[in-house]
Amino acid sequence: MTVSPAGPRFLMRRLRELMAGSQSADARLDAITSLIASNMVAEVCSIYVAKPGERLELFATEGLNKSAVHNTVLRVGEGLVGLIAEEAQPLAISDAESHPRFAYRPETGEEAYHSFLGVPVLRAGHTLGVLVVQNVRPRVYSDEEVEALETIAMVIAEMIATGELGDFAAVRETDPRHIHAYSTRGVILSEGIALGHAVLHEPRVEVERIIAEDMDIETARLDRALDGLRQSIDRMLAAPEVARGGEHRDVLEAYRMFAQDRGWARSLAEAVAKGLTAEAAVQRVQSEARARMLRQTDPYLRERLHDLDDLARRLLRHLAGRGETVSTDELVDNAILVARNMGPAELLDYDHTKVRGLIIEETSPTSHVTIVARALGLPAVTGPRGVCDLVDQGDAVIVDGEVGDIHVRPTADIEAAYREKVQFRARRQARYARLRDIASVTLDGVPIQLSINAGLLVDLPHLDDSGAAGIGLFRTELQFMLASRFPRLGEQERHYRAVLEAAGDRPVVFRSLDIGSDKVVPYLRRSKEDNPALGVRALRFALDRPGLLRLQLRALIRAAAGGHLRLMFPLVAEIGEFVEARDHVDRELATLRARGVATPREISLGVMIEVPALLWQLDRLLPKVDFAAVGSNDLLQYMFASDRGHPRLANRYDPLSVPVLRALAGIVEAAGSAGVPVSLCGEMAGRPLEALALLAIGFRNISMAPASVGPVKSMVLATHLGQAGEEVRALMDAGAASIRDGLAEFARRHDIPV
């Protein structure tokens, strides 16, 4: 049977007529299934609705035993219906019982039916149910029939979501958390503390018409809206705050690439050609994309979902004639934006003078919207799934970007405590600002070099703000992660030169490309790894792709022409890896000099000590390097065989444990014997108590997040390093597993702020 566009349109009109009736929900469902069965020339039509607990309950049927309604329940993934819900993909087969996932339910009486066609009932990429038709005789369902049933499922999804079908679908009891104070802990995206009132980021345009009356008109509307969308993004890129460059411009450039993607536009046009309105086509294409991408484990693909969601919402606003931006006319002062997901361009739409913070459910610390939030200086936290459902417009909200806490409708005492905390933080920051130009020297005259970790151009003003001595770690991979394609030589060179110029005469230590593990670059093919943290990443990846490494080296050398280039290589496990990387530098230098290209007056090459195996090679490695830097995050992860991103392991092992400190002290001693400068960059360095221990065992150069420089310098200025060294050595010999408590007591006795 071939289904023409008139078939679905007729069916849609009949469905709407049924919904407008006064029948009970069950009666209307029975009528719906009967109507679909007759229209699709099927002996059976059934509707399964998703219920809490990953269950699918039979809610209505035409053709199966009526007694099975509300009694037949399948788990998501169980049977053919469960398979459709799990994969969010249609399934059409001529002999259902022959399928390996077939699950027989005797109460339904479906053993007489052989042919099976089922489609997911999708909305915003989430499966609300499954719509099924069955036939007695084996048959092959056509693509037109699958398309027709998907279109019907789309209408049913809207009915379920908007409550048109009554209260049969997963009745929600009032959640007491909607009434009382609610607190939860998420993941920090951008540091800071914000108090304000919730503004729900819900720019959704409700699709009222699904079936097109005139496909030519709908095609023209879609084309105009796409043109308007692309022009609006061009205007955004031309705005003064974006045009001057930086990471948020790179983000929007990648965003523009998605808007101009021909495959996306073609999918939309095909959906209109099959009889949908332009709005319904946008909703359908995006719902299918969400369903696919939500089931992906690749973090890059999941991150692209937010960009595509943003584009779809913008396109719907253009189709609805609402303009290119979210309306902010009634945006309150001290607004806390609350979003399930958000594209970077959507965040830039808001009035930055009124927004104080951001809660976003579906994102990550390396996402594009996170980078924009940092560029705008907005405290931001990503909450656990469902947190957005517990916030109402105008609710008082606190975003704590220091520890990751979210407080909704906080009690008076919590709000008072946070107001005091904000005031204290402001006073403390003012005190740290006064220390900015004071030399970082201990009470007994030992100079300490405090540097910052950076990776974005937006980080560079922190050099002056914090009074840091330089950049101890510049993560070059972030430029690659944000770009939509591999950065060309000129782009890399300009990026590195901007960093060096911003630093002036302060040292900058570049880290060569460190991708792999959780750092995904979209345009570089990579194979699936069972344990990516131990896989082809960092220097291993670069040495496997010498052309990529040489291009980056060339850009760094050209950018540092006439100056001092400091470059270190990450995740070195054997001496030979460093030697091979150094040889690439030598060859690139020779090539450029032969071409008459200006080169740095001095080049220092270093090694990052992150792999424990390197601890037993230091006597042979250190004479070959100009400097060394301990990457404490990875080194501790590998020492304890503990995933540092695992929530249950995050606080299981103490960085101030005696084994860790003995290993670090051994590195300092070996570097001293070889006459090689050594530093430490990582989270350890940014916490005053841990930093005190590092200085006590011999480190004189540590690098940290910019916000940590003030607190650590305050500790340095109050410390007598000779006394601290004696105390730490005694604590390490005392037999305790960790020196944390003993060192904290020492700091208390000597009035050292930690």
pLDDT tens profile 43-65: 999 999 888 778 899 989 999 99
Cβ-contact 44, 133 below 8 angstroms: yes
The token duo for 67 is 């007694």
Task: Flag whether pLDDT at 572 surpasses 90.
Answer: yes
In whole angstroms, what is the distance from residue 681 CA to residue 662 CA? 17
Q: What is the pLDDT of residues 303-323, one digit of tens each?
A: 566 667 777 877 887 887 765
In whole angstroms, what is the distance from residue 266 CA to residue 262 CA? 6
Q: Cα Rg for the chain, rounded, in angstroms?
A: 30
Which pLDDT band, with edges at 50, 70 and 90, does 326 fall under?
very low
In whole angstroms, what is the distance from residue 605 CA to residue 416 CA? 51
**Average pLDDT of 719-727?**
95
Query: Active site residue: 368, 407, 495, 584, which one?
Result: 368
CB atoms within 10 A of CB 598: 12
In whole angstroms, what is the distance from residue 737 CA to residue 731 CA? 10
Residues 226-262 as b/e (b if ≥16 CB within 10 A, e otherwise) read: bebbeebbeebeeeeebeeebbbbbbbbbbbebbeee
The token duo for 549 is 């490494």
Has 388 been annotated as catalytic? no
Task: Flag whether pLDDT at 171 surpasses 60.
Answer: no
- What CA–CA distances, in Å, run from 695 to 141, 449, 630? 73, 11, 14
Q: What is the pLDDT of residues 396-450, one digit of tens each?
A: 899 998 888 999 888 888 888 888 888 777 777 777 888 888 999 999 999 999 9
Cβ-contact 654, 738 below 8 angstroms: yes
Q: What is the pLDDT of residues 344-389, one digit of tens each?
A: 667 877 887 889 999 988 776 656 677 678 767 789 998 777 777 6
The token duo for 688 is 């005053």
Amino acid at 10: F
In whole angstroms, what is the distance from residue 470 CA to residue 464 CA? 10
Of 609, 734, 741, 742, which is closest to residue 670 (Cα–Cα)?
609
* Segment holding 84, helix H or strand E: helix 79-87
Which pLDDT band, with edges at 50, 70 and 90, does 5 fall under?
very low
Cβ-contact 444, 720 below 8 angstroms: yes
Of 553, 546, 463, which is closest to residue 503 (Cα–Cα)?
463
- 483: Cβ contacts below 8 Å, ≥ 6 apart: 250, 253, 254, 491, 523
Q: What is the pLDDT of residues 257-280, one digit of tens each?
A: 777 778 888 888 888 887 778 888
Query: CA torsion sign, 226 to 231 to 232 to 236?
Result: positive
SS3 14: helix
The percent of the chain in helix, strand and coil, each rounded to the nearest 5, is 50, 15, 35
Amino acid at 333: D
- What CA–CA distances, in Å, run from 202 to 194, 514, 566? 21, 37, 47
Of 54, 51, 46, which is closest to residue 29 (Cα–Cα)?
46
Residue with tokens 């035993």: 65
List alpha helices for 214-261, DSSP H: 215-238, 240-243, 247-259
CB atoms within 10 A of CB 54: 14
Q: What are phi and psi of 143, to 5 degrees?
A: -60, -35
Domains along the chain with CATH numbers:
6-168 (3.30.450.40), 180-203+330-426 (3.50.30.10), 215-319 (1.10.274.10), 435-749 (3.20.20.60)
Crossing angle of helices 688-696 and 740-749, rounded to 10°: 90
Question: Which string of DSSP letters, residue by residue, matches 521-567?
Answer: -TTS-----SSGGGSS-HHHHHHHSHHHHHHHHHHHHHHTTTSEEEE
Crossing angle of helices 278-293 and 143-162, rounded to 10°: 90
* Segment holding 500, helix H or strand E: helix 489-503
- What CA–CA distances, in Å, run from 52 to 49, 73, 123, 630? 10, 12, 16, 48
Return the pLDDT at 588: 94
Burial class (CB in 10 A: 0-12, 13-18, 19+), 421: middle
Q: What percent of the chain has pLDDT over 90?
A: 36
Burial class (CB in 10 A: 0-12, 13-18, 19+), 705: middle
Of 87, 133, 78, which is closest to residue 105 (Cα–Cα)?
78
Has 45 been annotated as catalytic? no
Task: Flag whether pLDDT at 174 surpasses 50.
Answer: no
Q: For the range 676-680, what are the long-range contacts, defined as Cβ-Cβ under 8 Å and sequence gap of 24 or more?
A: 676/622, 676/623, 676/625, 676/626, 676/627, 676/628, 677/627, 677/628, 677/701, 678/627, 678/628, 678/629, 678/630, 679/449, 679/451, 679/472, 679/627, 679/628, 679/629, 679/630, 679/703, 680/629, 680/630, 680/632
The token duo for 608 is 């990052």
Return the pLDDT at 216: 87
Task: Flag whether pLDDT at 517 surpasses 70.
Answer: no
**Average pLDDT of 202-219?**
73
Which pLDDT band, with edges at 50, 70 and 90, does 236 fall under?
confident
In whole angstroms, what is the distance from residue 526 CA to residue 253 CA? 24
CB atoms within 10 A of CB 6: 10
CA 751 to chain centre: 41
